Amino acid sequence: MQNPATPAYRIPEPLARVLGRLPRYPGSVLFVTGLNLVLARHLHPDTLHMLEGRSLRIHVADAGLRFDYTWRDGAFRAARHEVAAPDLTFRADAWDFHCLLQRREDPDTLFFSRRLVIEGDTELGLMVKNTLDSIDMAVFQPRAVLRDVAQVLRQRAEALIPSGARRQYSSRV
């Protein structure tokens, strides 16, 4: 939980104005790349089935940033939710999202203190919250993230090398 002596950090207003003017889609592409590299492999198949085709948004209120995405065809994908509201939106300040990821704050505490706002499909929101609560946060530690990224890059590189060439290369090494 957050130490009352430690003030919550807020993105400075001049920086928030600049960040809020950035186009959403490229940021969402970067966001889902991170989700796919770090989080997707740790999600239960039932959760992924419930997420299929659902539109989601993370809104970092004090930074003016919105990341729109969906789960489709086995991966998180960037989306554009400009016409209709997403099925689910999580809105909080950057510091509160940081505290959630570090498990310094409980989502229920943030929700009831109105520092975390969940809008949209209640059942979907509860499922996402409970899923995130159940994930071992060690997967977000830099060493684990770098290990996961290296594994994905190795798999992709191996997929590009024809199997005959792969056997020839591995016999030389």
Q: How confident is the model at residue 7 (pLDDT cuts 50, 70, 90)?
A: low
What pLDDT score does 48 carry?
94
Higher pLDDT residue, 166 or 5? Answer: 166
Q: In whole angstroms, give the CA distance from residue 76 to residue 31.
A: 9
Burial class (CB in 10 A: 0-12, 13-18, 19+), 106: middle
pTM above 0.85, yes or no: no
What pLDDT score does 169 carry?
52
Q: In whole angstroms, give the CA distance from residue 53 to residue 71.
A: 6
Tell me: pLDDT of 139 over 50: yes
What pLDDT score does 2 carry?
46
Burial class (CB in 10 A: 0-12, 13-18, 19+), 44: exposed
Per-residue model confidence as pLDDT tens digits over 102-119: 888 888 899 899 999 999
Q: In whole angstroms, give the CA distance from residue 24 to residue 151.
A: 29
Q: What is the mean pLDDT of the chain?
A: 85
Per-residue model confidence as pLDDT tens digits over 11-47: 888 898 898 888 889 999 999 998 998 888 889 999 9
Tell me: pLDDT of 98 over 90: no
Per-residue model confidence as pLDDT tens digits over 43-60: 999 999 999 999 999 999
